[in-house]
């Protein structure tokens, strides 16, 4: 199952980019034999200032047809890492070809995208900078693959 991080905004070079690249590389190495990956990041940017709806339309175009959709939102469900790994494994085992993880802009995700999601996921009640959400998501995707592989990376 291919994994797509679809995010509003462009992430320049720097420590966040280095962390994301590292975790995505680890994910691809670990996940390949598990049927998870390849992984990719799709960045969209609303240069015309159309707001949350315009960003939503751009994100919607980045979602592969038939993909399971995960909306990152502070009002979403919190999960343990093993629970998250189980969700990915279930989608994969049910024949899912793609999973798209949506990260909105400064005002969040358009309501219609959140409503379309198979899972609305939260990394806690606090609002996180979008760059950090990308880092945390890429790490959790790698952690999920590690859990499914039986690797000692996850210690709970």
In a domain, 19, yes or no: yes
* CATH number for the domain that contains residue 89: 3.40.1280.10
116, with CB counted inside 10 A (0-12, 13-18, 19+), is middle
**pLDDT tens for the 156 residues of the chain, in order:** 999 999 999 988 899 999 999 999 999 999 999 999 999 999 999 888 888 999 999 999 999 999 999 999 999 999 999 999 999 999 999 999 999 999 999 889 999 999 999 999 999 988 888 889 999 999 999 999 999 999 988 876
Contact between 75 and 18 under an 8 Å Cβ cutoff? The reply is: no
The range of the structural domain enclosing residue 79 comes to 2-149
In a domain, 11, yes or no: yes
In a domain, 109, yes or no: yes
In a domain, 155, yes or no: no
In a domain, 156, yes or no: no
Structure tokens at 93: 């085992």
Structurally, the chain folds into a number of domains equal to: 1
CA distance 85 to 121: 13
In a domain, 54, yes or no: yes
In a domain, 154, yes or no: no
The predicted structure's pLDDT at residue 156? 67
The predicted structure's pLDDT at residue 46? 83
Contact between 100 and 67 under an 8 Å Cβ cutoff? The reply is: yes
The predicted structure's pLDDT at residue 155? 78
């Amino acid at each position: 199952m291919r994994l797509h991080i679809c995010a509003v905004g462009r992430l320049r070079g720097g420590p966040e980019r280095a962390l994301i690249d590292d975790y995505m590389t680890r994910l691809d190495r670990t996940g390949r034999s598990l049927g998870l990956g390849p992984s990719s990041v799709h960045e969209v940017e609303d240069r015309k200032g159309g707001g949350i709806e315009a960003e939503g339309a751009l994100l919607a175009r980045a979602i592969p047809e038939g993909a399971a959709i995960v909306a990152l939102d502070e009002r979403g469900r919190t999960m343990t890492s093993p629970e998250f790994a189980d969700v990915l494994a279930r989608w994969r085992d049910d024949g899912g070809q793609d999973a798209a993880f949506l990260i909105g802009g400064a005002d969040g995700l358009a309501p219609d995208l959140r409503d379309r999601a198979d899972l609305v996921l939260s990394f806690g009640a606090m609002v996180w900078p979008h760059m950090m959400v990308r880092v945390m998501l890429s790490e959790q995707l790698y952690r999920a693959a590690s859990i499914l592989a039986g690797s000692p990376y996850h210690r709970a």
